[in-house]
Structure 1
C-alpha cells in the first residue's frame, strides 16, 4: 500500500540534499472548486428503463437467474412495501444486507464522491427497474461532483458473500455525474438520466454544513492495519458520524524531526487540499496531537500498480496506454498548480474499486515551480531518476515526463529501461546507454518512449506542456475529455469484494492488533511544535484546531 510513512524496502528513495523551508501556496479557491466542510446525504431510491447495450446480450447466468423462482419473488419488491417493512421492524440494516446479497442478477451501482466509493446493490425489482432504497453519507471538503456508474454482473458470484466479488467483466449500463446543490438544508428529489446508456435513477440529496469541526482519533473506529513504515502506521478506519471509510496515516512527530523529514511531510499536507483531479488521492482531513500527525485519505483498495505488474510481469499496450493517459492527466493537473511530482513509480499508484488509477504519496513533490523555474535537489527513486537530476544541471516540470516514459516502458517490458541491480551502474546507463526495445513494444509506443526518454530536457516531449504528449500518435484514439470524466471503462478491475475490502493489502499488516500506539518520552520543544501550526484541516481554507487531543 502506498500511503508511504518512511523509506520503503521495495525501492530506496534518494534525498541527498535537504529542501528549503516549505512555502505555503495560496489556498484561494477557484469558483468551481470552493472549499467547504459539511455532510452530504444521498438517497438512491430506484431506477427505471435500464437495458444492456444494443450490441450486448444479457449474460447466460443472469438470464437463467431471471427465470428462477427467487427472481419472481424479488420482482415483487416495491418502494412502498420496503418502506412499510422498515416502519414495521424499525430497523433495516441486517435484513437489507441479506436481501441485497440475494439479488446478484440485478444491476448494481458504484457511487463516488471525492474518491470515496460506495457499492450499492438492489433489494429487488426487475432488470429494467431495480429497487435500491439505499442511503449513504459523504464528508464534503469542496464543491465536487457525484458520480454514479451502473453495471450488470457478467456471472454469478463465485464465493457467495454480498454478490460483489469478481466484478472485472461486468457490463457497463451507463452513468451520471453532476454537482449537487449545496444550499443549506435543501433536499433535492429528482430523476437523473443515464449518459452512455438508457434509463434513469431517482435520487434524494441534501447537504448540511459543519463549521470549525476539530477531529480527534475518537471520531474514528479502527478497522484494520493496512500498512506500516518508519514514521508510523496506516489504518483503515470508519468515521463514526458518516460511516465513510478512510485510510488514516499516523506519523510520529519526533521521528520526522529526527530524520529531517518535516519539510516533506508538510509539503504533502499543503499541496493535497488544492488538488481536484479524479486520478489523485485527496486529503479529506488532517489533525494532530501532542506527539503525532494524522492524515485521512479516501480508502483506495484495488492494490498498488506495482503488485499487479509484478504478478503479470507486463501489461498489454491497451492497458499500459490507459494507465499512462490517466497519469498524464494527473501530472498535468499538478503542473497547473506549479507542483513537480518527482517520484512517479508503480509503488505510488493505486487502483480504485473500478480500475482507475489514483496517484498518491506526495512526500517528495516540489512546490511553487513555475515554468521557468529550476531546482537542483537530488530527489527521487533510482530507477526513475532523469539524467538532468543525476548530472546536477537543474530540472523543472519536464522531469516528470521522463519518469512517465520510464513507467510506460516498465509497464510494456516488465522492467525500467535502464535497470541494473548495481545503482551506480544504473546511473551510468541512464546517462549514456541507448534505449533498447523488445518485440513486445509497438511502433507508436517506441516513438513516444523515444520522445519522452530524451536526455536533453529542452527537446523532450512535453517541454511545452502535456498537450503535445496528448497529440502523439500513441494516444490517437484516446478521448482525454471522456477519460477525465471517467466515461471510459478501465481494461482491468481488481478482484475485490467491496470498496472496503482489504484483500489487496499485505496480510502481515492486516493481522496486526488494532491500536493507536502511545508515544512515551517524546516531548518536543515549543519551537518544534510551532512548525506544525496550521497542520489541521477539515475542508475549510482556514486551519482549525491547531492541536487536538
Structure 2
C-alpha cells in the first residue's frame, strides 16, 4: 500500500496536510450505516488511533453530508479527558476521514450484552466522569442528544468517554431547540411534550445519563428472568420506562405521565435518590449541572480533582487479552466488503478514468455534489494546532521576559 508497506517509515513535513498515506491500517473494529471504523497507526509518531471513514457518495445519496460537516465542526472545538477527541480530519476522492482517540475497552452496550454486572460503586464513578464531560459540553454550548451505552466507550483502564456527535447540536445563547432527535428510550419527556414548540435544553442529556445509569445497574436479563419476561417487564424492566424505537410519541408522552419507575430494593437508597433526581420529568427540577451532583450528599466522599485526573480506579476493567468488539467486523472487511480500504489506491485510479467519461446527467449531477463536498470539507490537525499554540505561548513568554533596560535603550536609540 505504497508508504504503508515500506520497511522504513517515511519522514513527513510537519507543515504538510495529514492524509491517508500517513497511516498504516491495522484492523476493522466497527461500522455504521455509511461509515466504518478501523485501528490505524501513524507512521511517523507510531501512535495508535481509531479512524472512521465515510463514503462520500453514500453520504450524498442519503443527504448526510451536512451532519458530517456539523460533527466535524463541533469536534474540532472540543477536547476533554472523558470525550473521544478528534485528532485529524482529511479526505480523498472517495471517503471522508476522522481520526480520533483509540479506546480499546469497548462500548458499554457490548459489555451489557456480555452479561457484565456493573457494581454500584462502578456506576457511581461512571456518573461522576460522564457528568464532568456533560458539564464541559454545556460550557461549550453543546447538547449531545444521543447519550446511551452504545455511545460510551471505555479505555483500557475502565474510564468512560462519550463518542458520536453525529446529532449533537450547538445551542445559541438564550434559546432552546425544538427539533426531535435522539434514541427514543433515552430521550427526555420534554422532547415528546405536546408543548414541544417551547423547546428543550442541556437537561435532556442529564435525563439520558439517568436512563443509562439505571440500565447499567439493572444489567442484561438472565435466562431465568427471560422465562418470566412479561412479569419482569412489569416490575423490573432493564430501563426505567418500557419504550421501544417503534413506540409512538403519543404513547411515550402518556407513559411519562402515568408510569411509575420501579427501583430494586438491592440498590442503595442514596443511589435511588440520585437516579430520581436525574429522572425528574420536569427539566427545571432535574439535576442538570455538575454542581447539582457535587452538592448531593451521596457524592460527599468524591474527590472531583481525582476523578478528572483519572486517579480513581474503576471497579470494572475491560479484558486486555482481546478486542472488546464484535469480531465479525474484521471478517466482513476482508471477505464481504466490496470496497476494502487496502485496495483504495487502485480503485481511485480506475474511478478517475471513469469520471472523465461522465456521460449521463445523473452521473454528472452526482459528480457536482461530490466536488462540492471536496471544496467544503474541513481539514483539521490537532497536532499542528497544539504545536502552533505552544509556539505562540513561547513567543509571548519571551516577549514578557525581555530586559526592560534593554528595551528602554532600544527606544532611546529610536
TM-score band, normalised by the shorter chain?
0.7 to 0.9
Question: Equivalent of 1:386, from 165, 188, 206?
Answer: 188
Shift of 1:362: 0.6
Q: Rate the CA distance shift 1:211–1:223 in 2: closer, same or farther, 3 A.
A: closer
What is the aligned length? 328
What is the alpha-carbon distance in structure 1 between the residues aligned to residue 373 and residue 34 of structure 2?
A: 19
Q: Rate the CA distance shift 1:321–1:365 in 2: closer, same or farther, 3 A.
A: same
* Bigger fraction of residues in helix: 2
Residue matched to 2:330: 510
Q: Please tell me whether residue 366 in structure 1 is matched to residue 186 in structure 2.
A: no
Contact 1:225–1:509 (8 Å) recurs in 2: yes
Q: Please tell me whether residue 336 in structure 1 is matched to residue 336 in structure 2.
A: no
Residue matched to 1:78: none
Which residues of 2 match residues 409-488 of structure 1 at below 5 A?
409-414=214-219, 415-421=238-244, 423-424=247-248, 425-426=251-252, 428-462=254-288, 465-488=289-312
Shift of 1:311: 2.5
Q: Secondary structure at the match of 1:524?
A: helix
Shift of 1:485: 0.9
Contact 1:306–1:346 (8 Å) recurs in 2: yes
Q: Please tell me whether residue 218 in structure 1 is matched to residue 21 in structure 2.
A: yes
What is the alpha-carbon distance in structure 2 between the residues aligned to residue 284 and residue 250 of structure 1?
A: 14
What is the alpha-carbon distance in structure 1 between the residues aligned to residue 243 and residue 200 of structure 2?
A: 24
Residue matched to 1:322: 125
Shift of 1:297: 0.9
Q: CA RMSD in A?
A: 2.5
What is the alpha-carbon distance in structure 2 between the residues aligned to residue 505 and residue 340 of structure 1?
A: 27
Residue matched to 2:106: 303
Q: 421-430 vs 234-243, which deviates more?
A: 421-430
Question: Equivalent of 2:68, from 259, 265, 277?
Answer: 265
Shift of 1:301: 0.5
Q: Secondary structure at the match of 1:312?
A: coil
What is the alpha-carbon distance in structure 2 between the residues aligned to residue 405 and residue 248 of structure 1?
A: 30
What is the alpha-carbon distance in structure 2 between the residues aligned to residue 388 and residue 368 of structure 1?
A: 16
Question: Equivalent of 1:291, from 94, 100, 103?
Answer: 94
User: TM-score, structure 2 length as denominator?
Assistant: 0.73
Which residues of 2 match residues 65-76 of structure 1 at below 5 A?
none
Q: Rate the CA distance shift 1:369–1:398 in 2: closer, same or farther, 3 A.
A: farther
Q: Secondary structure at the match of 1:525?
A: helix
> Residue by residue, what CA displacement relative to the aligned partner does 1:505-525 show, whole Å, maximum 9, x if unpaired?
211112332635547577531
Q: Please tell me whether residue 489 in structure 1 is matched to residue 313 in structure 2.
A: yes
Residue matched to 1:537: 380
* Bigger fraction of residues in strand: 1
Residue matched to 2:201: 396
Residue matched to 1:110: none
Contact 2:60–2:369 (8 Å) recurs in 1: no
Contact 2:103–2:156 (8 Å) recurs in 1: yes
What is the alpha-carbon distance in structure 2 between the residues aligned to residue 438 and residue 527 of structure 1?
A: 54
What is the alpha-carbon distance in structure 1 between the residues aligned to residue 35 and residue 280 of structure 2?
A: 39
Q: 346-355 vs 519-528, which deviates more?
A: 519-528
Q: Please tell me whether residue 230 in structure 1 is matched to residue 33 in structure 2.
A: yes
Which residues of 2 match residues 47-446 of structure 1 at below 5 A?
211-312=14-115, 314-370=117-173, 372-391=174-193, 392=196, 393-414=198-219, 415-421=238-244, 423-424=247-248, 425-426=251-252, 428-446=254-272
Gaps of 5+ in 2: 1-10, 220-237, 335-339, 356-362, 387-414
Gaps of 5+ in 1: 1-207, 543-549
What is the alpha-carbon distance in structure 1 between the residues aligned to residue 253 and residue 15 of structure 2?
A: 49
